């Protein structure tokens, strides 16, 4: 990819971000680039201090078929939960439950990762 192509892609992405973000929240227009900058700086720092292989290299290998069977429990349990909920007429606000769990947990893990990189324990 040439420098001109990269520039066009970056400008298109930035333009799309600005146009879409202004419609939703003006605060996000300032917060999201700051978070992206922090992430970029921490990733560069991690590249300097990281020791050993990446996780992807460590996980390289053959996966047992019996290990994959356990993945089927997720969709089957979701189907069972939704079927029972619909038959009982329950309206569970799963979007709120997921939001209340994943947002604080994601924020805490983001901070934890930053602290580990900056203290040299990554």
Q: Where are the domains of the chain?
A: 3-92
pLDDT of 73 > 80? The answer is: yes
pLDDT digits (tens, 9 = 90+) for 21-57: 878 888 888 888 899 999 999 999 998 888 777 777 7
Residue 109 pLDDT > 90:
yes
Give pTM, 2 decimals.
Answer: 0.66
Q: Rounded to whole angstroms, how far apart are CA atoms 24 and 53?
A: 40
Local structure of residue 59 (DSSP, 8 states): T
Q: How far is CA 68 from CA 38, 55, 63, 65, 71, in A?
A: 36, 19, 8, 5, 5
Q: Quick one: pLDDT at residue 111?
A: 96
Choose the weakest-confidence range: 64-68, 89-93, 111-115: 64-68
Give the pLDDT score at 61: 76
Q: Over the stretch 75-107, which tens digit does the pLDDT of each residue have?
A: 999 999 989 999 999 888 889 999 999 999 999
């Amino acid at each position: 990819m040439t420098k001109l192509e990269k520039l066009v892609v970056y400008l298109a992405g930035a333009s799309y971000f600005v146009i879409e973000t202004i419609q939703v929240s003006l605060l996000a227009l300032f917060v999201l680039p700051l978070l992206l900058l922090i992430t970029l700086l921490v990733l560069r720092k991690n590249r300097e201090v990281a020791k050993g292989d990446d996780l992807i290299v460590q996980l390289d290998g053959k996966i047992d078929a019996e290990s994959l069977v356990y993945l089927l429990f997720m969709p089957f349990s979701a189907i069972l939960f939704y079927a029972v909920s619909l038959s009982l007429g329950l309206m569970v606000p799963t979007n709120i439950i997921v939001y209340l769990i994943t947002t604080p947990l994601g924020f805490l893990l983001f901070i934890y990762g930053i602290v580990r990189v900056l203290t040299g324990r990554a």
